[in-house]
């Protein structure tokens, strides 16, 4: 027969013990069993906060981790240097990168290499953001866009063209040379603020029909078209808004 261990002492049996829990007065003790109803009652008179998604776009927090974005420098060159650190940091093995060599005739990013192939597999990605922490050039960031449905499995692998941010004012579609007299360091330091006349002259000479030369919104959009997967996603989202009763 095994010997039973003694029962632990109650607080009254412990000399010098003083409870840190504040004692309730009589009124608080009386209403304690129904105090929970107070929370319900106070919420009954607050305005409704039901999100009308997909009828209206959902409001996510500013730091929400959504779809990735590949960024550009202010002259249009790509920030990605194809180093693959993002792919190595990814716990879900969701990123695939192949680097290409920049040449004087085809310079896509400052420095020696650029991200030639860039894929994010959203069947695997858990949107943790570790890839963005690993990126040395801030080429990779995350947007607030969480709409990542796809009609096929292949349609959930986003390619570089789907992830690359569009061209904005002052930019020129790559490839084109770096700003004269700069190295990648000047780009990292933010000392390049827009495409220069020398860069425009180079593009005019090598790609006279490049739509980004005119600098208009339409021209910039035409020079960096939305990728097929992103376009399919936009179509799905628009359809969901319509079926959800968008007004």
Q: Residue numbers of the site for ligand SF4 (CB under 6 A)?
A: 80-86, 89-90, 92, 94-95, 97, 115, 120, 125-131, 134-135, 137, 139-140
Distance CA(6)–CA(12), nearest Å, equals 16
CB nearer ligand SF4, residue 83 or residue 171? 83
Strands 68-70 vs 95-101: parallel, antiparallel or unpaired: unpaired
Sign of the Cα pseudo-torsion (122, 123, 129, 131, in order) = negative
Tell me the closest approach of the beta carbon of residue 210 to ligand SF4, in angstroms. 24
CB nearer ligand SF4, residue 73 or residue 202? 73
What is the residue whose two structure tokens read 């650029």?
114
Tell me the closest approach of the beta carbon of residue 158 to ligand SF4, in angstroms. 10
Distance CA(200)–CA(90), nearest Å, equals 38
Tell me the closest approach of the beta carbon of residue 230 to ligand SF4, in angstroms. 16
Partners of 164 in beta bridges: 70
What is the residue whose two structure tokens read 């107070």?
38
Of the CA atoms within 13 Å of residue 66, those in its CB half-sphere come to: 15
Tell me the closest approach of the beta carbon of residue 136 to ligand SF4, in angstroms. 6
CB nearer ligand SF4, residue 131 or residue 179? 131
CB nearer ligand SF4, residue 80 or residue 213? 80
CB nearer ligand SF4, residue 92 or residue 240? 92
Tell me the closest approach of the beta carbon of residue 182 to ligand SF4, in angstroms. 18
Within its chain, how far is the Cα of 146 from the centroid? 9
């Amino acid at each position: 027969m095994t010997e039973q261990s003694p029962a632990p002492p109650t607080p009254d049996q412990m000399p010098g013990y003083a409870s840190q829990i504040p004692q309730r007065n009589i009124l608080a003790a009386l209403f304690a069993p129904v105090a929970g109803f107070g929370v319900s009652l106070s919420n009954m008179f607050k305005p409704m906060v039901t999100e009308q998604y997909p009828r209206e776009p959902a409001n996510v927090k500013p730091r929400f981790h959504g779809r990735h974005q590949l960024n550009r420098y202010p002259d249009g060159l790509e920030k990605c240097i194809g180093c693959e650190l993002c792919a190595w940091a990814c716990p879900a093995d969701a990123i695939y990168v192949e680097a290409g060599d920049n040449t004087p005739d085809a310079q896509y990013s400052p420095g020696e290499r650029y991200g030639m192939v860039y894929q994010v597999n959203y069947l695997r990605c858990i949107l943790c953001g570790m890839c963005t922490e690993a990126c040395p050039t801030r080429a990779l960031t995350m947007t607030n866009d969480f709409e990542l449905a796809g009609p096929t499995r292949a349609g959930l692998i986003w390619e570089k063209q789907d992830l690359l941010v569009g061209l904005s004012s002052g930019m020129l579609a790559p490839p084109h040379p770096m700003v004269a007299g700069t190295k990648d360091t000047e780009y990292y330091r933010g000392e390049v603020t827009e495409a220069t006349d020398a860069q425009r002259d180079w593009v005019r000479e090598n790609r006279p029909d490049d739509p980004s030369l005119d600098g208009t919104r339409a021209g910039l959009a035409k020079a960096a078209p939305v990728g097929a997967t992103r376009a399919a996603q936009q179509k799905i989202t628009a359809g969901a808004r319509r079926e959800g009763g968008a007004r």
